[in-house]
Amino acid sequence: MTVRGAGVLVTGGSSGIGRAIAQSLAGAGADVISAARRDQETSGRVRPLRADLARPSGCEDAVTRAAAMLGRLDVLVASAGTMLIDDVTDATPADWETMTSVNLTGTTESVRAALPHLLKASEGPRGCADIVVIGSISGRRPTPGRAVYAATKAGLRAFTDSLRQELASTGIRVSLIEPGLTATGLRAANSPATLARMTARTPELHDVTPLSPGDVARAVTWLLSQPASVSVSELTLLPTSQGA
């Protein structure tokens, strides 16, 4: 199996894990559309797409435009996400709504919009199509300050579990990737004071050498290279020094 020539949409592809995935798949020969709110530049086989993935209509529009640009859609990588951390007693409903709309609804709506295109692609030369959802170890092992963030990621686990069963008789594979601590800019959306307070609550993470976005990207490229008869349903990636 190869991704060479496959049409791929990566949401949240302007930075962090999403950007690394887009570049890795393009390096393997895929034609990639990187959808994000921020402006991007074309880079080799990666083409930008401005999209508001916090709105259902924005997700559907992004998928429709990406499929038109590619002429097909073989793979959807749902990587868009945000993390606004704080204790439940101090968090704001607006922050919770932002995380829910981007992390959970943005992913489910992107998948829903992509399904007709992926069903068609599953009958093509690859013999399958793929949905890859980027979750988080927080969905399994929440830590203080991440209650709603963890809830959105746990929701993605339930969503992919159900979706995988619904699509078992089709040629669409569904994979969930759950990285541990990863060196991205995800925490930058929080104030320094909040970050300092929350960091003090998780001393066990202070000495962890985090994953790089490239570590996650290589895992995605690997699972997409498996034979059509093989589905990598869930994959947890932890820094060796994180342990648990």
**Contacting residues for 45 by C-beta, under 8 A, at least 6 apart:** 26, 29, 30, 31, 32
On whether residue 40 sits in a domain, the answer given is yes
Q: Which domain holds residue 225?
A: 7-237
Per-residue pLDDT of 143-153, as tens digits, reads: 888 899 999 99
What distances in angstroms separate CA 3 from CA 8, 30, 86, one per listed residue?
A: 9, 5, 40
Whether 243 is in a domain gets the answer: no
Domain membership of residue 2 (yes or no) is no
In a domain, 119, yes or no: yes
- Structural domain includes residue 42: yes
Instruction: Say whether pLDDT at 199 is over 80.
Output: no
Q: Are 18 and 77 in contact (CB under 8 A)?
A: yes
17 falls within a domain: yes
Into how many domains does the chain fold? Answer: 1
Catalytic residue among 20, 149, 179, 190: 149
**What is the tens place of the pLDDT at every residue in 82-135?**
999 888 998 899 999 999 999 999 999 999 999 999 999 999 999 999 999 999
Q: How many CB atoms lie within 10 A of CB 48?
A: 19
The segment with the largest mean pLDDT, out of 35-49, 66-80, 137-151, 173-187, is 66-80
Average pLDDT over residues 224-242: 95
Single pTM value for the model = 0.94
pLDDT for 244 equals: 64
Please report whether residue 118 resides in a domain.
yes
CATH number at residue 163: 3.40.50.720
The mean pLDDT value for 52-70 works out to 97
Q: Is 90 a catalytic residue?
A: no
Query: For residues 212 and 153, is the Cβ–Cβ distance under 8 A?
Result: no
Q: Which two tokens stand for residue 236?
A: 């947890």
- Is 242 domain-assigned? no
